[in-house]
Chain A
Amino acid sequence: EPEVTQTPSHQVTQMGQEVILRCVPISNHLYFYWYRQILGQKVEFLVSFYNNEISEKSEIFDDQFSVERPDGSNFTLKIRSTKLEDSAMYFCASTREIQETQYFGPGTRLLVL
């Protein structure tokens, strides 16, 4: 069964450093998403991406964040200058049609020191 994959599973970085989180969505899916879950809290929508551009973004997704689909398979989230409060689990998700089920990757746990 096809699944969303994410790398790395864990990342530790120093405050102010740039990080890139990588995702490979399910191959025939067209809509891609990033979500964030701060430890012990609910899952929060960051951004959606369709047809090689951002479709929607939340207020969390400020200028420090960017997304890219550099090739036909990868979907990346870049945090330009990490802050302590960026420490969270980051989930990638994809869906074939916008109203269909979003399938989530296993997440990347980011720790900013």
Chain B
Amino acid sequence: AQKVTQAQTEISVVEKEDVTLDCVYETRDTTYYLFWYKQPPSGELVFLIRRNSFDEQNEISGRYSWNFQKSTSSFNFTITASQVVDSAVYFCALYQPGGGADGLTFGKGTHLIIQP
């Protein structure tokens, strides 16, 4: 069975600080997909990134970067020079083809608070 752990329930930093959100996953399969979604206070789920298990290359998109390490089953998310608008709950999710459910398995989320 698959599982996603986001051990950090809440993180609070001051604006312009860098912050890393941790995600550890469990899966028995060699083919899987990892995602990050952002849930702002308005409640919607906004897609940020998708990564398949065969692509360990780290990715950078503006102030956002992702570090995928299969050796530690982690897919961490870093925000550089954080801004107040980054305040949200961030969810890491896993999809495992043929894993018995077509749906995503979500972690419990990390509530990120960026203070001005």
Residues of chain A at the chain B interface (Cβ within 8 Å): 31, 33, 35, 41-48, 50, 55-56, 58, 89, 91, 98-107, 109
Instruction: Give A69 Cβ to nearest chain B Cβ, in Å.
Output: 16
A and B contact pairs by CB, cutoff 8 A, 18 listed: A42-B106, A45-B101, A45-B104, A46-B103, A48-B101, A48-B102, A48-B103, A56-B102, A58-B101, A89-B43, A99-B95, A100-B50, A101-B50, A103-B47, A104-B44, A104-B45, A106-B44, A107-B45
Q: Is the CB of B95 within 8 A of A43?
A: no
Q: Is the CB of B35 within 8 A of A101?
A: yes
Residues of chain B at the chain A interface (Cβ within 8 Å): 33, 35, 37, 42-45, 47, 50, 52, 91, 93, 95, 97, 100-109
Q: Is the CB of B109 within 8 A of A42?
A: yes
Q: Is the CB of A101 within 8 A of B47?
A: yes
Q: Is the CB of A104 within 8 A of B47?
A: yes
* SS class, residues of chain A in contact with chain B: strand
Q: Is the CB of A55 within 8 A of B108?
A: no
Q: Is the CB of B106 within 8 A of A44?
A: yes
* SS class, residues of chain B in contact with chain A: loop
A50 to B102, CA, bound (A): 10
- Contact flag A107-B43 (CB < 8 Å), given A42-B107, A56-B100, A56-B101: yes
Q: Is the CB of B103 within 8 A of A45?
A: yes
Residues of A close to B47: CB separation below 8 A: 101-104
Instruction: Give B7 Cβ to nearest chain A Cβ, in Å.
Output: 13
A103 to B93, CA, bound (A): 13
Residues of B close to A89: CB separation below 8 A: 43
